[in-house]
Amino acid sequence: SDAIGSSSRASATTAAPEPSEAKNNSKPKSVPVETSAATPGAMETELFSKALLKVAKVASVEELENSDKLYKLTVDVGAGEIKHVCAGLKKFITRDALLGSLVAVVL
């Protein structure tokens, strides 16, 4: 009976360190995975928070000479601020329909 008791104590002693080693190995592996998964989302949120969306009124529409797709727009974004932008809308809307309309602008 002493031999059985001795071997069970040895098994219990040997088995205890293995789970703690497994826990130690799993923690470092999970930390980099969580960090790398969170980083792209944080970067996207930071970039999006820097963008300014405004509604602007189209003040003028010009056709670009060598383009089948682009209009050059002059837009009023408010407070007397005028911006010039290009829009690939030539195949979808006429100059007259675009003139005076409200458009979304990313600043």
State whether 40 and 70 are in the same domain: no
pLDDT in tens, the chain (107 residues): 555 555 545 545 555 555 555 555 555 555 554 555 557 788 888 888 999 999 999 999 999 999 999 999 999 999 999 999 999 999 999 999 999 999 999 99
State whether 69 and 86 are in the same domain: yes
Structural domain span for residue 63:
53-106
Q: Is pTM, for the whole model, over 0.85?
A: no
The residues near 85 (Cβ < 8 Å, ≥ 6 apart) are 72, 73, 75, 105
Domain count, the chain: 2
State whether 43 and 63 are in the same domain: no
State whether 45 and 62 are in the same domain: no
